[in-house]
Amino acid sequence: MIVLSLDIGGTHLRIGAIDQCGTVLKFEKLPTASVIHSDHVLSNLSDFLRSFSAGLSVDGITIGFPATLDRSRRVVVQAPNIPFMENLPVCDYLQKEFSVPVFAERDVTFSLLYDVEKYQLPKEGMICGIYFGTGIGNAILLDGKPLTGRHGTAGELGHIPVPGCGIPCVCGNEGCMEAFAGGKALVRLQKALYPDTPVGEIFTRHRHDRPLLEVFDGMAVSVATEVNILDPDYILLGGGVLNMSDFPRSVLEELIIKHVRKPLPCRDLNLIFTEDEPEKSVLGGAVYARRNLEDGHVS
């Protein structure tokens, strides 16, 4: 079984051809603009997939989006970083073109599925993934299945409102957590307070400064909020921010413990820091497709 697994981001697109054992047969990371280069988004995508998969016998296609998807996981509802994908019948179109099942999910769900396999966590129970990148990605697995909610928008931890924080958010609201405690907050701090420090060195030089400590506290509040509501079996933390040079994981962990409800679940938290890997999302996408294909969930 070979799955074509795509991760379409605002800047880069990743694609892998992955076999039954999870081996990457072929992988490419390229600028999204080099693939989606005209108004004919779906035919651009189809042409690219056809050329990438030439000579391969593909059994399924899976696509991860940094976006809100509808509950049926067929259409991108809102995608501030890839607005060209909004409200297009991408799954149905590609399914017709390639005559194989096509699945879509949020990219963060794919990252979590990959990490769950990597750390050999049990499929039963509740596992939360919180990934701090430009925004705050959040996925929740219940017995191995992504929690979608009524409209498909469950797990939007980054958009929890922070009282007193009026910073506009990409979602249209003001004062969302991810404007306060994600990569965007770091970029804002760097511009305002540390113009001579490259963003990549912000923790190395300034991790003890109060403005940074406030960002760490905001991140910890995000995690503690989810933990206090859901009491999950495992909490996986990752993303670009946590994997930046000299990010103080122990400080974040202490702050999470400070905010989580006592005595339980605080006394028995299963907190796992995950590594960033370039092929993570496409490998997780392949896990998702394989499970759906094996379960016979063919849309």
Ramachandran region, residue 81 (left: φ > 0; alpha: ψ -120 to 50; beta: rest): alpha
Indicate the residue among 135 and 285 with the shorter CB distance to Zn ion: 135
Indicate the residue among 18 and 108 with the shorter CB distance to Zn ion: 108
Find the length of the chain. 299
Q: Does 169 bind Zn ion (CB under 5 A)?
A: yes
Indicate the residue among 60 and 218 with the shorter CB distance to Zn ion: 218
CB of 179 to Zn ion, least distance (A): 7
Q: Does 266 bind Zn ion (CB under 5 A)?
A: no
Indicate the residue among 6 and 162 with the shorter CB distance to Zn ion: 162
Give the count of residues interacting with Zn ion (CB under 5 A). 5
Strands 60-65 and 102-106: parallel
DSSP structure class, residue 176: B
Q: Does 42 bind Zn ion (CB under 5 A)?
A: no
CB of 197 to Zn ion, least distance (A): 27
CB of 184 to Zn ion, least distance (A): 11
Give 250's contacts (C-beta < 8 A, 6+ positions apart): none
With CB under 5 A as the contact rule, which of the stretches 24-32, 165-173, 198-206, 272-280 interacts with Zn ion?
Answer: 165-173
Query: Which residue from 171, 199, 266, 271 is in contact with Zn ion, where contact means CB under 5 A?
Result: 171
Q: Does 159 bind Zn ion (CB under 5 A)?
A: yes
CB of 134 to Zn ion, least distance (A): 13
What are the DSSP calls for 217-280, one per residue? HHHHHHHHHHHHHH--SEEEEESTTTTSTT--HHHHHHHHHHHS-TTTTGGG--EEEPPP-TTH
Query: Which residue from 20, 72, 87, 173 is in contact with Zn ion, where contact means CB under 5 A?
Result: 173
What are the tokens at 215? Answer: 């960002």
Q: SS3 of 19, please?
A: coil
Torsions phi, psi for 130 (to 5 deg): -125, 115
Q: Does 270 bind Zn ion (CB under 5 A)?
A: no
Q: Does 176 bind Zn ion (CB under 5 A)?
A: yes
CB of 156 to Zn ion, least distance (A): 8
Indicate the residue among 177 and 269 with the shorter CB distance to Zn ion: 177
CB of 131 to Zn ion, least distance (A): 16
Indicate the residue among 90 and 185 with the shorter CB distance to Zn ion: 185
With CB under 5 A as the contact rule, which of the stretches 103-111, 176-184, 259-267, 273-281 interacts with Zn ion?
Answer: 176-184
CB of 97 to Zn ion, least distance (A): 34
Indicate the residue among 129 and 135 with the shorter CB distance to Zn ion: 135
For the range 142-150, what are the long-range contacts, defined as Cβ-Cβ under 8 Å and sequence gap of 24 or more?
144/116, 144/291, 146/105, 146/106, 146/109, 148/71, 148/73, 149/71, 150/71
Please name every residue paired with 139 in a beta bridge, in sequence order, or none if there are none: 129
Query: How far is 49 from 24, CA to CA, in rounded Å?
Result: 16
With CB under 5 A as the contact rule, which of the stretches 57-65, 87-95, 156-164, 202-210 interacts with Zn ion?
Answer: 156-164
Indicate the residue among 5 and 134 with the shorter CB distance to Zn ion: 134
C-alpha angle 172/137/52, rounded to 5°?
105
Ramachandran region, residue 206 (left: φ > 0; alpha: ψ -120 to 50; beta: rest): alpha
Q: Does 185 bind Zn ion (CB under 5 A)?
A: no
Q: Closest Cα partner for 135 from 95, 193, 188, 180?
A: 180
Query: How far is 258 from 224, CA to CA, in rounded Å?
Result: 9
Q: Which residues bind Zn ion (CB under 5 A)?
A: 159, 169, 171, 173, 176
